[in-house]
Amino acid sequence: MTPSTRRVLLIEDNDSDAQLYAAMLQELQADTVDNPTATPTDVERVTALEPGLAELTDRGQTYDAVLLDLNLPDSTGLETVDRVVDADSDVAIVVLTSVGDQRLGTEAVDKGAQDFLIKDHVTPRVLAKTVTYAQTRKAQTRQIERQRNELSVLNWLIRHEIRNDASIILGWASALEADSPSEQRSLDRIEDASNHIVTLTESVGELISTLEDERTELDAVRLGAVLDAEVTHFRENYESASVSFTGDASDVSVKANQFLGTVLRNVLLNAVDHNDTDTPSIEIDVHLPAAGDTDPETTTIEGDAEQEYVWVDIADNGPGIPAETKASVTEKAYSGDADGTGIGLYLVNKFMQQYEGEIRIEDNSPHGTVVRLGFVPAARSQ
């Protein structure tokens, strides 16, 4: 299969340099023995930035890559990169710099270029490979941007449209008065289902937020305060469940962000949603790392460094998680039953990865599950 022709716009005012780069891009394609898959390349050359921008904004023209000199008659420096990016955000950009301008090339990449080349070090193979890799990186960037835009739309739809409709249903249901026990049961089910929808929108919305922000900023978050708030809220909404709390985390801070409550809440909800007993029982235990403690339950090895964790164990008396699915409940959107949401522990795992922590799924005794959350300790509050 013959590769499709690649169109490159060369913005270079130096005639000898321009002729050399054009010849280099076409040299490898002529060698069909050593390079049978070489990409045919058409090169269009302009001598200044303004005609280059005109080429990029011409709807009748489409370029795959731009070779851009940063020392042009009508534009110099990093502003040149900004203007090319503004003119065509989809084109791959390779900046051409002089010897000694490596820092400028690196800054150009930060501005939106995909790569840079030092003019005196360019060879035909280096030039062709750099342009190809720049196209690949640009395509990957566009795909990530599209995915983030799609996630943003989904986030808005979930947080606003679906949640608002569920809130309206809740409002109408609360205004109704039942005339019989059967009607009251129906109203209760409507309210339970609507509350469940609201809870789901919060979880899905927060999952989308963490997927959008892969490098989220971490702060020192008071673990005890967040735990107390989530346990109080849980008891108010699940009066039939029994929750006990041992361990003192009142003066402990861990590396986390504003979604720490979401992490704890989802583990608690998972413990009660998948519980098959009449009275779900949940035990929360906090283990603090101690100086000189080498207990493998409170430490883990990362590379050559030993990292101590603050462990929060949340144990339930449910049916437990089968051994063959313990890994999948945190690695994918797993559903253990027909009406399970399947995102709770997956969401928790996503956040724990951001927190540089650890999640373990273990069996409880005599039955049930223990979800162990290992947080990196931050500075203790004064």
Q: What is the pLDDT along the chain (382 residues), one digit of tens a residue?
A: 345 788 999 999 999 999 999 888 877 665 555 555 567 888 999 999 999 999 999 878 889 999 999 999 999 889 999 999 999 988 999 999 886 777 888 899 989 999 999 988 888 888 988 998 999 989 888 887 777 766 666 666 666 667 777 778 888 888 888 888 888 888 888 887 787 777 767 766 666 666 666 556 788 999 999 999 899 888 877 888 899 988 888 889 999 988 898 899 889 988 888 888 888 999 999 999 865 444 444 454 444 445 689 999 999 999 988 887 777 777 765 544 434 445 678 878 888 988 999 999 999 998 899 999 999 998 644 4
**Contact (CB, 8 A) for 335 and 270:** no
Rounded to whole angstroms, the Cα distance separating 246 from 313 reads 10
Tell whether pTM > 0.85.
Answer: no
CATH 3.30.565.10 is right for the domain spanning 217-382: yes
- In Å, how far are 69, 206, 209, 340 from 350, measured between CA atoms? 42, 11, 11, 19
Question: In a 10 Å sphere around its CB, with 0-12 CB exposed, 13-18 middle and 19+ buried, how is residue 133 labelled?
Answer: middle
Nearest to 129, CA basis, from 140, 115, 139: 115
Question: Which CATH code, of 3.40.50.2300, 3.40.50.300, 3.40.50.970, 1.20.1300.10, is assigned to 6-122?
Answer: 3.40.50.2300
